[in-house]
Amino acid sequence: MNPSIHPDAEWRLHPRLTADSVPILNRDGIQYRLIDDHRFPWLLVVPMLAGAEQLHDLPSAWRDQSMRALQAASRTLEALYVPHRINIGAIGNLVPQLHLHCVARFHDDAAWPGVVWGAGTRTPMAPLTRLARVQAIGAGLVERLATNSTS
């Protein structure tokens, strides 16, 4: 990660993302969040840059940082959950604020082989399950972000 990237003081999380997910970690200008859905291990990678909406419009340093963050998120989910596939998405049709989805997918999950976006109804986790998941993913992210995640 590039440690010279800092959160933008004017950045605020979109209320819909606040409602659907919980924070895991802020690091080097990126907020990592867990979607509160028991059905899927599902992370959001959110660049803390006010006004950012689309990946191709990001300043290059922020774009590179977001890609490194996405890689750390993918590797963390892979190590913890051993999924069949990682699904990545940058969609934003409902929430224009830039946020990248990173989802661990399994052959027997609730949406396979379809995508998670628009699939059924979000099922919140029990509080202890959510806490355990946040702690495990947070520890995994910290470990991966401490190494050079660009290689």
Residue ranges binding its own copies (CB under 8 A) = 54-56, 60, 63, 67, 70-71, 74-75, 78, 85-94, 96, 105, 112-115, 117-118, 150-151
Q: Which is nearer to its own copies, 82 or 126 (CB)?
A: 82
CB of 105 to its own copies, least distance (A): 6
Closest distance of CB 60 from its own copies, Å: 6
Q: Identify whether the C-beta of residue 101 lies closer than 8 Å to the C-beta of residue 90.
A: yes
Taking the complex as a whole, how short is the minimal distance between the CB of residue 151 and its own copies, in angstroms? 6
Of the candidates 97, 32, 99, the one whose C-alpha atom is nearest the C-alpha of residue 69 is: 32
The residue (of 96 and 124) whose beta carbon lies closer to its own copies is 96
Q: Which residues of 82-109 are buried (b: 16+ CB within 10 A; e: fewer)?
A: ebeebbeeeebeeeebbbbbbbbbeeeb
User: Nearest distance from residue 91's CB to its own copies, in Å?
Assistant: 5
Distance CA 102, CA 85 (A): 10
